[in-house]
Amino acid sequence: MNLIEKIIAAHSSQPMVKPGDIVDVMIDTRAARDFGGANVVKNLLDNGLTVDDPSKTIFTFDCNPGGSDQKYAQNQHYCRQYARENNIRIYDVDSGIGTHLAIDTGLSWPGSTFVSTDSHANIMGAIGSFGQGMGDQDIAAAWAKGYVWFKVPASVRINLNGKKPSDVSAKDIVLNLLSVFGANKMLGYSVEIYGEEADKLSLSERVTISSMATEMGAIILLFSPSPSVLNELKMKTGKTFDAISADPDAVYEKSFDLDISKFVPMVAKPGHPHDDIAVQEVMNIKIDSGFIGSCTNGRIEDLRIAAAILDGKKVAPGVVLKIVPATDAIWTQAMNEGLIKIFKNAGAMVSNAGCAGCAAGQVGQNGPGEVTISTGNRNFEGKQGKGFVYLASPAIVAASAVAGCITTPDKIPGTPALFAVTRHASRVTRHDEKVKAEKPTVVEGMVWIIPKDDIDTDMIFHNRYLTITDIKEMGQYTFDNLKGFEDFPKKAKSGDIVITNKNFGAGSSRQQAVDCFLSLGISCILAESYGAIYERNAINAALPILTYDPAQLENAGIKNGNRIRVDFITGELINLDNGKTCSVNRFYDAQLAIYRNGGLL
């Protein structure tokens, strides 16, 4: 048998397996991340299932280690509660990438099996372990039963012949492989890599190569662990592991001989990891940002390579370089070795350990039109942001960050590339082209009474929506975080009027808490008082806000749903349903002038 067949057979009831066999595979370590973990728990609870063996079951919170997204924070807390009740270990937000933790702490070992909600769980091929990313139901089944069904894949052997050029890194090796095999020629295969140069590869280099099996369409890229790799694992875990190797008469469906001496430093062009080209062909393309990290290149060796290039240099003006170690242990080691200081002195941003740019919950994302060079494993459109992402080795990313354009360490120019000054004409509107609509100073509308003091800006417009810049999109989230009024945007109609109590708009300076009412067409807001910043924001945005004396307002006998008329200049308020009137505080002169101007600007 070959490697994949040996591992699967050893974890099944079958003495031998062959491609096409479907067997139940016992899983040594069963992981769920903060991405998908909550759904795993939900699947278990909804189906009345319990955890088979908590000692083999773990959570890893690596997609959003900052918990900076409300949904992630909610899911993480949900998983923590389940873990406490079921004695399940959590590698929490301070730990790092789950697959790397599995390798470095001995949760995975040569010949073992590992599943996770991480599509790059096949990174375990670096140590001769069978790792698989699976969906929430699969992982729930593994947690409940301890095994999953699996179809034994056919295997392919790749022989790397010749001597590796000195400037070709592990990332270059896998990009060269992708340029040869593309995204689907290895689809569904287990791939084993052999050769003199393959035997020399360190654990970190094997991790880099195996981490891109998914991008090649392969089930896994497997290495038979060398003595040096076994020694590395022993030093990290304190455990001694036996090597696993294919039998001499193992059967492979295909075999390929590649000359590694012809491999060159490469980058993947934006959009597809397999759209690879020699770095020489894209030299001097201007970049906006660089990213070093991910499960592909966040190891200590990767950081050392970057530090050697950045030491004594500065990131090019206007370029942002973000560096994220794969695990907290690697972060600490980088600090102890002085690498973090080098990064900071160079002008890079260093974040806490985690998946970073590959997940939307951490640094590394880019914006529309932004050109990034990244050590990640994926550059699909929208994956690392809405810009353009080139994939490359840590050395090329670090050199490019200093140069301000794509380059190699030996071609860093004496003067970095600078940004040309551009004028975004589409964002400029000539003053004399603006047409001011006359603003009404008397409005009528249906009343929404919200009898609460201290309604803050998080209740009005929660911070999870602060990236929205289009006023038209803001209205739907108004009062999304105010209990009892979550359905306000669906029921409110243009022209409606809000009446509330003291200190409306307390809290942050977010303009969206004003603009969301403009988005819905709310004609005015009446409150006893306003947060100081909110009051300015509303006046400057020409959102009509007025204050009132509660004793005066009682004279109008206003009830929820009444229609009222408000005169901003005189302060007269009429309840159109009962004919009663009262006085509110009218616009003051500056407020009226700004309102009639259509806003401060």
For the chain, the C-alpha Rg in angstroms (whole number) is 30
Could you tell me if 392 and 443 lie in one domain?
no
For the cut 60, the answer to whether the pLDDT of residue 240 exceeds it is yes
pLDDT of residue 360: 64
The residue out of 364, 381, 411 marking a domain boundary is 411
d(CA 101, CA 115) in angstroms, rounded, equals 13
pLDDT of residue 431: 46
Could you tell me if 256 and 298 lie in one domain?
no
CA distances, 505 to each of 174, 236, 387, 461, 511 (Å):
54, 53, 35, 10, 10
Residue 136's domain comprises 3-262
Is 416 part of any domain? Answer: no
For the cut 90, the answer to whether the pLDDT of residue 386 exceeds it is no
Could you tell me if 32 and 142 lie in one domain?
yes
**Interacting residues of 360 by C-beta distance below 8 A, sequence separation 6+:** 64, 69
Could you tell me if 448 and 389 lie in one domain?
no
Is 168 part of any domain? Answer: yes
d(CA 256, CA 437) in angstroms, rounded, equals 72
d(CA 448, CA 331) in angstroms, rounded, equals 53
- In this predicted structure, which of 236-240, 313-317, 382-386 has the lowest mean pLDDT? 382-386
pLDDT band at residue 334 under the 50/70/90 scheme: very high
d(CA 531, CA 97) in angstroms, rounded, equals 42
The residue out of 203, 235, 262 marking a domain boundary is 262
Report which residue type is found at 444: E
Report which residue type is found at 565: R
pLDDT of residue 533: 92
Q: Which CATH number belongs to the domain containing residue 508 in this structure?
A: 3.20.19.10
Could you tell me if 479 and 584 lie in one domain?
yes
Across the range 399-413, mean pLDDT stands at 97
pLDDT band at residue 433 under the 50/70/90 scheme: very low
Could you tell me if 258 and 279 lie in one domain?
no
pLDDT in tens, 170-188: 999 999 999 999 988 999 9
pLDDT of residue 44: 96
H helix and E strand count, the chain:
22, 25
pLDDT band at residue 423 under the 50/70/90 scheme: low
Task: Give, rounded to a whole angstrom, the gap between the first and last alpha carbons of the chain.
Answer: 74
Is 535 part of any domain? Answer: yes
pLDDT of residue 436: 63
pLDDT in tens, 66-99: 756 778 888 899 999 999 999 999 999 999 999 9
d(CA 322, CA 333) in angstroms, rounded, equals 18
Vertex 187 angle, CA 181 and 188, to 5°: 145
pLDDT of residue 394: 98
For the cut 60, the answer to whether the pLDDT of residue 426 exceeds it is no
For the cut 80, the answer to whether the pLDDT of residue 319 exceeds it is yes
For the cut 60, the answer to whether the pLDDT of residue 229 exceeds it is yes
* Beta-sheet strand order (sheet of 276-278): 276-278, 266-268, 388-391, 371-374, 289-292, 320-323, 349-350
Could you tell me if 440 and 385 lie in one domain?
no
Is 224 part of any domain? Answer: yes
The residue out of 212, 229, 262 marking a domain boundary is 262
Could you tell me if 459 and 543 lie in one domain?
yes
Is 267 part of any domain? Answer: no
Is 425 part of any domain? Answer: no
CB 131 within 8 A of CB 111: no
pLDDT of residue 435: 55
Is 421 part of any domain? Answer: no
pLDDT in tens, 509-560: 889 999 999 999 999 999 999 998 999 999 999 999 999 999 999 999 999 9
Q: Would you state the structure tokens that stand for residue 335, as one six-digit string? A: 């600090």
Is 248 part of any domain? Answer: yes
Could you tell me if 483 and 508 lie in one domain?
yes
For the cut 70, the answer to whether the pLDDT of residue 429 exceeds it is no
Number of folded domains that form the chain: 3
Residue with tokens 């599509």: 119
Report which residue type is found at 280: Q
CB 46 within 8 A of CB 140: no
Could you tell me if 525 and 442 lie in one domain?
yes
d(CA 393, CA 402) in angstroms, rounded, equals 15
Across the range 581-599, mean pLDDT stands at 95
3-state SS assignment for residue 50: coil
Q: Which CATH number belongs to the domain containing residue 304 in this structure?
A: 3.30.499.10
CB 203 within 8 A of CB 126: yes
* Secondary structure in 3-state letters for 88-114: CEEECCCCECHHHHHHHHCCCCCCCEE
Could you tell me if 226 and 316 lie in one domain?
no
Could you tell me if 392 and 467 lie in one domain?
no
190-194 and 220-222 as β-strands: parallel, antiparallel, unpaired?
parallel
